[in-house]
Structure 1
Amino acid sequence: MRTDFLVIGSGIAGLTYALKMANRYPDKKVVVITKAAADETNTKYAQGGVAVVNDLEKDSFEKHIDDTLIAGDGLCNKNVVEIVVKEGPDRVRELIEWGAQFDKEKDGDYKLGKEGGHSEFRIIHHKDITGWEMERALLDAVSRQPNIELIKHCFVVDIITQHHLGYLVTKSSPGTECYGVYALNLVTNQIEKILAKITLLATGGNGQVYRTTTNPSIATGDGVAMVYRAKGRIENMEFIQFHPTALYEPGLRGQAFLITEAVRGDGGILRNKSGEAFMERYDERKDLAPRDIVARAIDSEMKKTGTEHVWLDCRHFSKEKFIEHFPNIYQKCLSIGIDITQHMIPVAPAAHYSCGGIKTDEWGRTSVNNLYACGECSSTGLHGANRLASNSLLEAMVFAHRCFIDVIEKIGSIEFNEKIPDWNATGTSQPKEMILITQSLKELQQVMSDYVGIVRNNIRLQRALSRLDLLWQETEQLYQGSAVSPQLLELRNLITVGYLVVKSAAFRKESRGLHFNTDYPQKSELVQNIVM
């Protein structure tokens, strides 16, 4: 297959970019690849909303910029923060023009929520399923574009570079270029070569590297792992954001149900085993402190009391208003016997968002020529050491637009590389035992959760590296001799991501933002990004 524009991922970042390209070039084909159903993305599960300044009388760009910089704990790129905050309103208006609907007051103004770290009410939302609504609108718009081909159930194996032409490619090699991808078609079970002039990675997060996460099962860090194997630059992988309030269900492994931060924005109170509202002991902003502070506070309370969760108290809420704003949370809680008007909600932190990723510049360019990245898989400089709540959907839209602007300046000068060989599967066979893959995945998630969670230390990180090294050796041996499968590819990518998180955490000799190491509890005077 050949296409001018190849998009890997069908979340808000990938679809926004694809729509812009299809509108700009109606005579060119845009191909969007997703490894599952079209709407099975991290975007779909975003509950809270989009942080955007839309009333300059009550709010200001400067306040949103300051809130983002404070949350990022000294590592944000201020220029990028200003770009995202100031360009954000235009991108939101575009999304509304494409059909996205956000909740409004009776007078027609948008309802605005407030979440941790925000100084003003500025979160626009659609009930408690904002991401779902945005994904719906984008997919509807894509379906009306005849020159967008959306290929479902197609798993990208690797980025094609000069390496596949027999050249030695290293991180210091000048002029590394992306020519497209090799992808496993899950319908035909064949690996296909897809040549592209420009490739955009919008592959989402990597929450599945942990035992419990708010991310769906598809969030396996594929884009980050592929770029690392292609010798591209990866940045700040140690900053994994744990959402403070995932619904606690005993024995759950995998995707946990998210209790959006907007519930605390509306007045929800965190309480410990004794019923004490404990957040005032950790931060003057109490329950609306930034996520890293709240997650560590909950972790501390759980360890002090020997419990596996704390409580979120919403019993003082108006039942009608709660159901109006959070209908899905209400129904989910009710389905497991929790009536929020009478019972507190059991919550515990779960892996939620990767603030690091594929290093890009302010136009979404990676260190590999003709390869762009945006959305959660990228590290643009917006989030720094900790993401401000509801900034991620905004960032995805702004950088999808900036990638689009940059690509139209260069697309005319790029040609297809006709020398790329077909995929060679000679000497491989089907794995005889799937347990070799499933057990390794469980081990990886256990190691990451126990040793590289909310609180870390040097011994834990060293143990994690040792365990991951063995898992990597075993998995590479299996990969070299086996026909590829989605399960094997995801395991391989997750082990790579796990290694990058641990290695980056080991390099950072301080505690900053989402990275807290008890051996280095203070911030360093040297403010630096960890690039790998």
Structure 2
Amino acid sequence: MIRSDYLIIGSGIAGLSLALKASQKGSVALITKRKLYDSATGKAQGGVACVTSKSDSFENHIKDTIVAGAGLCNVKAVTNMVTEGPARIKELIKLGVKFSKKDYSDSEFELGLEGGHSKRRILHAGDMTGNEIEKVLIENLKKQSNIQIYENHTAVDLIIDKKTGDCLGASVFINDKNETEIFQSKITVLASGGAGKTYLYTSNPGVATGDGVAMAYRAGAKISNMEFVQFHPTCLYNPDAKSFLISEAVRGEGGILRLKNGETFMEKYSSLKELAPRDIVARAIDSRLKARGENFVYLDITAKSRDFLVKRFPNIYAKCLEYGIDISKDMIPVVPAAHFFCGGVTVDENGKTTIPNLYAIGETACSGVHGANRLASNSLLEGIVYAHRAFEDSQKLLNKNYTELDVKLLNNSRGQKDSTAFLQDWNELRRLTWNYLGISRSNERLGKAIKRIEILKEEIDEYFQHSAITVDIIEVRNIVAVAEMIARSASLRKESRGLHYNTDYPFTAPEAKDTVITAQQQ
């Protein structure tokens, strides 16, 4: 058994930020199922939305966020995120994060513009913002003696006290030793990111299998708004370019979406055209592709000079060039892909879940700031703001004593069953979510999804219970739980709002309500 004051599961911006702060008050065990830098944070290109310009205001940022959220944002949560954002940005800069500056100024930031924003307010580091933030946080993290880092450790399930209902830590699989360990803690924090790998096509890294929200779901926590899955409109369409995102900022700098014949089409869907919120852009592309029987559309940024593109989008320019696309001359083939979950583990304004001693932050949580559709570049901001709020709130639990545990380690001496059926379930599940729980849904599709997910869940659970544990089986067990949550939540929403579009309910209901579920309702 490994004991610590804090157990933090996940190594994206939220988990790393919290670990740094928590280490000043107590001992920290930070577990991540691969390496520290394997997270969605490192792939974030666009930047961090934050009010830093005199021409901008908190009121503008709050309004833009609420408009994008389609009436479902928690206004207090949004206000907290926006108004506390500048202080958290200053902390990042103090740690060493270098955001891009204007050529003629050492003090003025070069601010980007993205869909849904009324002002330029996107702080960025070229087009590798997340990588810069992640690198600096990890560098600072490794200097702290009070943090124990456990790479290649995969959380399996939360440990819940049967008498009190408190979270006491988690059972964890040690990948390279093929054995399990108990991590006990006074405070457990789920910061494991999103669940894009639930879908066949995603911009997310391979680690994004919804581990945190699935663990919380199985433990009985409330889960909110899982039907709101954001599909990024523009992922590079190339069989060899797995999960490579073409940043929203490309459209912010003048990129135009075109059909294969060169025609534009966004003007038919929104007066904002390419700068419309992501749900509108993704649905427009999806509609055009289905109507024409085509696999991709083009994103055209050739109106900009090569010098501008190399400076503003060095990573995108270089990556596209690897695939024979010179974006200063050639249009970029793009397709929508699962990108971000606005729903997740229900939390309060400090990241507390409905299970005592358990917090959730970042994409794992549903804090209410994104509503029915996340405004571009608000996710990194949410991560650092809620990491700080969870840190401030959780300190009151540090004086608690450890509870004596009576937990059996998972038996991993069981023989490995034939994996053929298991691999079939994995592949079928991701295709099912793409076809039935994707950008457009219907009652018939949702009904079919729920029935098939029930069967797949039984098959996967049987495999988990009677076969040696592996990272793959842990992940697919979590993916099927996420698929179940999406399908159940989507079937409860009898309207179309934000990222959830049901062809049987194409209208938006007059009253906006959260969809809240628990595992016990099955």
TM-score, length basis structure 2: 0.97
Residue 389 in 1 paired to residue 376 in 2? yes
**Secondary structure, aligned partner of 1:384:** coil
What is the identity, as a one-letter code, of the residue corresponding to 1:421? V
What is the aligned partner in structure 2 of residue 207 from structure 1?
Answer: 196
What is the aligned partner in structure 1 of residue 177 from structure 2?
Answer: 188
Cα shift readout 1:183-238 (whole Å, capped 9, x = no counterpart): 01113211111110001110000000000100000000000000000001110000
Q: CA deviation at 1:257?
A: 0.6
What is the aligned partner in structure 1 of residue 404 from structure 2?
Answer: 418
2:492 corresponds to which of 490, 496, 507: 507
What is the aligned partner in structure 1 of residue 144 from structure 2?
Answer: 145
In structure 2, runs of 5+ residues without a counterpart are: 518-522
4+ residue segments displaced more than 3 Å: none
Q: Distance in 2 between matches of 1:95 and 1:424?
A: 40
Matched-pair contact (CA < 8 Å) for 1:273–1:305? no
2:418 corresponds to which of 430, 433, 439: 433
Matched-pair contact (CA < 8 Å) for 1:241–1:514? yes
Q: Distance in 2 between matches of 1:181 and 1:432?
A: 26
What is the aligned partner in structure 1 of residue 315 from structure 2?
Answer: 328
Q: Distance in 2 between matches of 1:45 and 1:430?
A: 37
1:353 corresponds to which of 337, 340, 344: 340
What is the identity, as a one-letter code, of the residue corresponding to 1:420? D
Q: Distance in 1 between matches of 2:187 and 2:23?
A: 14
1:178 corresponds to which of 153, 167, 181: 167
What is the aligned partner in structure 2 of residue 227 from structure 1?
Answer: 216
Q: Distance in 2 between matches of 1:307 and 1:329?
A: 24
Q: CA deviation at 1:424?
A: 4.2
Measured at CA, do residues 180 and 335 of structure 1 come closer, stay the same or move farther in structure 2, by a change above 3 Å?
same
Q: Report 1:458-469 matches (<5 A).
A: 458-469=443-454
Q: Distance in 2 between matches of 1:527 and 1:16?
A: 33
**Secondary structure, aligned partner of 1:429:** coil
Q: Distance in 1 between matches of 2:407 and 2:255?
A: 57
What is the aligned partner in structure 2 of residue 32 from structure 1?
Answer: 30
**Secondary structure, aligned partner of 1:155:** strand
Q: Distance in 1 between matches of 2:138 and 2:166?
A: 30
**Secondary structure, aligned partner of 1:213:** coil
What is the aligned partner in structure 1 of residue 428 from structure 2?
Answer: 443
What is the identity, as a one-letter code, of the residue corresponding to 2:236? L
Matched-pair contact (CA < 8 Å) for 1:10–1:38? yes
Q: Distance in 2 between matches of 1:99 and 1:424?
A: 42
Residue 76 in 1 paired to residue 77 in 2? no
What is the identity, as a one-letter code, of the residue corresponding to 2:368? G
What is the aligned partner in structure 2 of residue 496 from structure 1?
Answer: 481
2:233 corresponds to which of 220, 240, 244: 244
**Secondary structure, aligned partner of 2:516:** coil
Residue 374 in 1 paired to residue 361 in 2? yes
Q: CA deviation at 1:42?
A: 0.8
**Secondary structure, aligned partner of 1:192:** strand
Matched-pair contact (CA < 8 Å) for 1:355–1:387? yes
Matched-pair contact (CA < 8 Å) for 1:247–1:346? yes
Q: Distance in 1 between matches of 2:240 and 2:439?
A: 20
Cα shift readout 1:419-446 (whole Å, capped 9, x = no counterpart): 33231428x6232323232221110000
What is the aligned partner in structure 2 of residue 119 from structure 1?
Answer: 118
Matched-pair contact (CA < 8 Å) for 1:64–1:85? yes
What is the identity, as a one-letter code, of the residue corresponding to 1:422? K
Matched-pair contact (CA < 8 Å) for 2:372–2:497? yes
Q: Report 1:38-57 matches (<5 A).
A: 38-55=36-53, 57=54
What is the identity, as a one-letter code, of the residue corresponding to 2:439? I
Cα shift readout 1:53-97 (whole Å, capped 9, x = no counterpart): 012x20000000000000000100000000000000000110111
**Secondary structure, aligned partner of 2:363:** coil
What is the aligned partner in structure 1 of residue 520 from structure 2?
Answer: none
What is the aligned partner in structure 2 of residue 268 from structure 1?
Answer: 255
**Secondary structure, aligned partner of 1:112:** coil
Cα shift readout 1:392-430 (whole Å, capped 9, x = no counterpart): 000000000000000113321x2111133231428x623
Q: CA deviation at 1:526?
A: 2.6
Q: CA deviation at 1:276?
A: 1.2
Q: CA deviation at 1:14?
A: 0.5
Matched-pair contact (CA < 8 Å) for 2:12–2:39? yes
1:364 corresponds to which of 351, 369, 375: 351
Q: CA deviation at 1:49?
A: 0.1
What is the identity, as a one-letter code, of the residue corresponding to 1:53? V
Residue 155 in 1 paired to residue 164 in 2? no
What is the identity, as a one-letter code, of the residue corresponding to 1:79? K
Q: Distance in 2 between matches of 1:408 and 1:358?
A: 21
What is the identity, as a one-letter code, of the residue corresponding to 1:49? G
Q: CA deviation at 1:367?
A: 0.3
Task: Please give the root-mean-square deviation of Cα atoms over the aligned residues, in Å.
Answer: 1.2
Q: Distance in 1 between matches of 2:298 and 2:176?
A: 45
Q: Distance in 2 between matches of 1:183 and 1:250?
A: 34
Q: CA deviation at 1:261?
A: 0.3
Cα shift readout 1:304-348 (whole Å, capped 9, x = no counterpart): 221111100111111001011111111111111111122110001
What is the aligned partner in structure 2 of residue 171 from structure 1?
Answer: none
What is the identity, as a one-letter code, of the residue corresponding to 1:216? P
Matched-pair contact (CA < 8 Å) for 1:214–1:258? yes
**Secondary structure, aligned partner of 2:135:** helix
Q: Distance in 1 between matches of 2:190 and 2:420?
A: 31
Q: Distance in 2 between matches of 1:161 and 1:475?
A: 23
What is the aligned partner in structure 1 of residue 100 from structure 2?
Answer: 103
Q: Distance in 2 between matches of 1:492 and 1:226?
A: 10
What is the aligned partner in structure 2 of residue 170 from structure 1?
Answer: none
Matched length:
514
Q: CA deviation at 1:250?
A: 4.2
Measured at CA, do residues 419 and 251 of structure 1 come closer, stay the same or move farther in structure 2, by a change above 3 Å?
closer
What is the identity, as a one-letter code, of the residue corresponding to 1:102? F
Identity rate of aligned residues, in percent? Answer: 48
What is the identity, as a one-letter code, of the residue corresponding to 1:222? D
**Secondary structure, aligned partner of 1:376:** helix
Matched-pair contact (CA < 8 Å) for 1:248–1:256? no
Q: Distance in 2 between matches of 1:309 and 1:459?
A: 26
**Secondary structure, aligned partner of 1:80:** helix
Q: Distance in 2 between matches of 1:266 and 1:84?
A: 26
TM-score, length basis structure 1: 0.95
What is the identity, as a one-letter code, of the residue corresponding to 1:415? N
Q: CA deviation at 1:476?
A: 0.9
Residue 404 in 1 paired to residue 403 in 2? no
Cα shift readout 1:130-165 (whole Å, capped 9, x = no counterpart): 0011000000000111111111000111000024xx
Q: CA deviation at 1:497?
A: 0.2
* Bigger mean CA deviation after superposition, 453-462 or 417-426: 417-426
What is the identity, as a one-letter code, of the residue corresponding to 1:51? A
